[in-house]
Amino acid sequence: MNAIEAIDDLALDGTTKGVPFAEGTIRLGDIGSRGWNVVKGDIALPAMTLRDSAVANNLALMRDIAANNGVSLAPHAKTTGAPQLYGKMLKDGGVWGFTAATVQQGLLAARTGAKNVLLANQLAAPANVAHFAGLMKAFPQTKFMCLVDSADGAALLAKWAKPHLNGQKLSVLIEMGPVGGRAGARTLDQAKTVIAAIGSAPELQLVGVEAYEGGVKAPTPEEVWAGIDRLLDLMLAVFDHGRQSGAFAQGEEVILSAGSSTSFDQVIRRFGHLSKDKGVRIVTRGGAFLALDHGFYKRRALDMDKRGALDLPGGRKASASGFKPGLELWAAVQSLPDPEMAIMGMGMRDLPYDIELPIPLQHFRDGKLIEDLGPDWKMTKSNDQHCYVEYPKGADIRIGDILSFGISHTSTAFDKWDVVWRIADDFTVTGALKTFF
């Protein structure tokens, strides 16, 4: 039984959010055959759904962008935590591999069939290194890579990995980073020191250069974009030094990897001249494109369009209209105790709130759409299991009505849900996704 079949075979019951207790135990893979519909009240609320049509659209669009620009995709596994979606991306999305933040995420990706797993993080504890080396042994068909940004980090990684490698070498990329950002060497001179340390460790081999450009901070969007370009230029300088000094592993392709979900267009433009170089692979790692959202990532898509939109075989296409938000939260009105204020049966245990609260989208009653909701409907606060929605005076709202909400920040929505419901555009449940966080 493969990883996806094992997930489909999981037994669910009322202890899983959304599964109606009266249905008893149900096999996850059979959920799509029940004919349930979210707006008709067939599943317990609150619930989170992912639209099949949005996933199909976004997967095809990103696949075409990558193919047209000569880059490879390694979507971040932590965005969805859903191996069923990893399998779909491998099958239909042309992805080269997956990015992981933890060894556990790398294991999930390898079990799903990924041939390349880039741990875009540093291993700074002996047990983590042993676990990572264990993946190399358990999945010999998969190439595993991790990051280093200091000579001390390289030395410890080599020391802790040595007992577990059995003569193999651990593939590493040097991580670069902006001043004030997250991890990463800050200058070319620092990078040269790290490269020398990697070269002196028989257990390690340098296979590329990496950065997370999402860590660039500045007062204005234009200054952020300029800062990202400077970081990408620094990566190119390190890459050139590595090639000229012969520091990269012989016989290995050299990887240049950046490209968060919000600025992969800049990476494509900055690194595009290398995409045809033999032995060089440009890898972008954003994962939010698959499900997107109605807030943070939608605004970042508008920023992409300001920078020149997306280059596709048929010409340039706007990102904001090309990618489709797929995630929605659903909750019922359970109390109307004060004027123009609805209390919803959903709270911080169910919704992301690290960037902003969810955005009211649509209003349903008895399975029918009452109205599309505008900016005069607003979620203002959330408790553990309740949230507060302001609505305009005179609105036709009743207890038991169902509201749908767009979310802001994909990753912190998925990690609230053990099971996410797949739906068609008529809100029929077509299946379920199991997440692992």
List, for residues 424-433, the tens digit of each pLDDT value: 999 999 999 9
138 and 254 together in one domain: yes
Listing DSSP states for 92-115 in one string gives HS----EEESSHHHHHHHHHHT-S
β-strand pairing of 143-148 with 26-27: unpaired
User: Tell me, what's the pLDDT at 242?
Assistant: 96
**Rounded CA separation 87/433 (Å):** 12
User: Tell me, what's the pLDDT at 60?
Assistant: 94
Number of domains making up the chain: 2
**Rounded CA separation 165/213 (Å):** 32
370 and 421 together in one domain: yes
List, for residues 192-239, the tens digit of each pLDDT value: 999 999 999 999 999 999 999 988 999 999 999 999 999 999 999 999
208 and 198 together in one domain: yes
Structural domain that includes position 387: 3-51+324-434
Considering the domain boundaries, does residue 318 fall inside one?
A: no
**Rounded CA separation 340/80 (Å):** 35
User: Tell me, what's the pLDDT at 130?
Assistant: 96
Cβ-based neighbour number of residue 164 at 10 Å: 18
Backbone angles phi, psi at 116, to 5 degrees: -140, 130
Stretch among 99-108, 214-223, 314-323, 360-369 having the lowest mean pLDDT: 314-323
Considering the domain boundaries, does residue 231 fall inside one?
A: yes
Instruction: Look up the pTM and report it.
Output: 0.94
Write the single-letter amino acid at 187.
T
Backbone angles phi, psi at 220, to 5 degrees: -125, 155
What mean pLDDT do residues 382-387 have? 97
Domain of residue 270, CATH code: 3.20.20.10
Listing DSSP states for 285-296 in one string gives ---TTTT--SSH
Domain of residue 19, CATH code: 2.40.37.20
DSSP code, position 249: P
Query: pLDDT over 90 for what percent of the chain?
Result: 85
203 and 285 together in one domain: yes
Considering the domain boundaries, does residue 262 fall inside one?
A: yes
List, for residues 30-52, the tens digit of each pLDDT value: 999 999 999 999 999 999 999 99
